[in-house]
Amino acid sequence: MPSVLIVDDEPSICALIREELAEGGFSCFTATEPEQAQNLLGSQHFDLLITDIAMPRISGLDLLAYVNRQAPGCRVILITGVSTRAYVAQAIMLGAYDYIEKPLSMDGLLDIALRATKEEAENSRLPQRAAVAMELSSQAKQAALDSVRALAVAIEARDPYTRQHSEQVTHYAVHLAKAMSLPDETVERIRVAALLHDIGKIGVPDSILTKIGPLTAEEFRYIQRHPVIGAEILTNITMFGEEATLVRYHHENWNGDGYPEGLAGEAAPVGSRIIRVADSMDAMLMDRTYKRRYPVERVLLELERCAGKQFDPKIAIAAVQWCRTNLDKLILPRGGADT
């Protein structure tokens, strides 16, 4: 009778799996605390470990690594939510046998458990299954991005002065992130966040967005809400959780007098600080209801002047250097701007 250790911080899940596998011929042990699971794994033999990935303090991936060191003969099946598919690549590297998604299919789990504990158990199908899952996840993220981006385009269309603004901010933000040699995955998060940085303006009335002249204090309070509204929208789309944070803080200033929380220095994420500079670059280079476009040289002077005040000084200087060596990549209004 093969022995299995079932680990999940929800006792009801442990009981459900234990009941199903016991009927399938397994000798079942359960643990609702990962530390308890480690003690059991260190003190007795198990043919199979079935563990949730997302647990407090010690994750399922930590238990998988522990099994590799202490009980290499024990096969591991991971339980994962849709939002944790990003962990599957790491699970492959750590040698997991397979995984099953929530909500659990007991028949599917029993089938995987039986295959895993056969003496002549076939090689793990996890790499192939993971490739499919990650492809589907990528497609789902692109579909969600397309939907939210369509909303952002509709918002920009309310103000003729800000059409294409998000694409232009993204153009500068990506170039700055690459100029600063940030990792590819960070650059990608910045790209998505920059595309969606103004989506919270859905909560700002047209009369304020298109107003000619200075805003009143009350009108400016409406504007100040848009990073929070945008972050709340994206937070409700699980796959955009990290981008939501970048959107929330893209109007914070280096000296702490920005909004919504008045974060100073490196308290705001680097992606937010890059979008802050990119957003200002595009605003200065384009006409707005409240001003005419600035010549390129004035934009560079403003970036230098505001370094250490509005802008992270390293990012501002990187922006100036990038502009001076890539004048052909600046997006200027039709007819160009004086240099």
End-to-end Cα separation, the chain, in angstroms: 80
Q: What's the CA gap between 192 and 242, in Å, rounded? A: 10
Choosing from 102, 178, 201, 314, the catalytic residue is: 201
Nearest one of 159, 182, 177 to 283, comparing CA atoms: 159
In the block, tokens 């079942």 appear at 28
Q: What's the CA gap between 201 and 99, in Å, rounded? A: 41
CATH fold for the domain made of 3-124: Rossmann fold (3.40.50)
Domain 141-329 indexed as CATH 3.40.50.620 = no
Does the annotation count 201 as an active-site position?
yes
Q: Is 181 left (phi over 0), alpha (psi -120 to 50) or beta?
A: left
Domain boundaries, the chain: 3-124, 141-329
pLDDT of the residue at 264: 97
Residues found in the chain: 339
Token pair recorded at residue 53: 């990935």
Angle at 313 between CA 307 and CA 315, to 5 degrees: 115
Q: Report, as ranges of residue numbers, the positions in the chain whose pLDDT lies below 70.
A: 82-90, 92-93, 119-140, 159-161, 238, 334-339
pLDDT of the residue at 199: 87
User: With contact defined as beta carbons under 8 Å apart, do 145 and 193 qualify?
Assistant: no
> Contacts by 238-242 with C-beta closer than 8 Å and gap 24+?
238/82, 238/83, 239/83, 239/137, 239/140, 239/141, 239/144, 240/144, 240/145, 240/148, 240/192, 240/196, 242/189
Nearest one of 138, 151, 162, 154 to 282, comparing CA atoms: 162
pTM for the model stands at 0.63
Nearest one of 182, 339, 336 to 270, comparing CA atoms: 182
Tens digit of pLDDT for each residue in 6-23? 999 899 999 999 999 999
Token pair recorded at residue 83: 């939002």
pLDDT of the residue at 337: 46
Token pair recorded at residue 148: 């939210």
pLDDT of the residue at 339: 46
Q: What's the CA gap between 297 and 338, in Å, rounded? A: 8
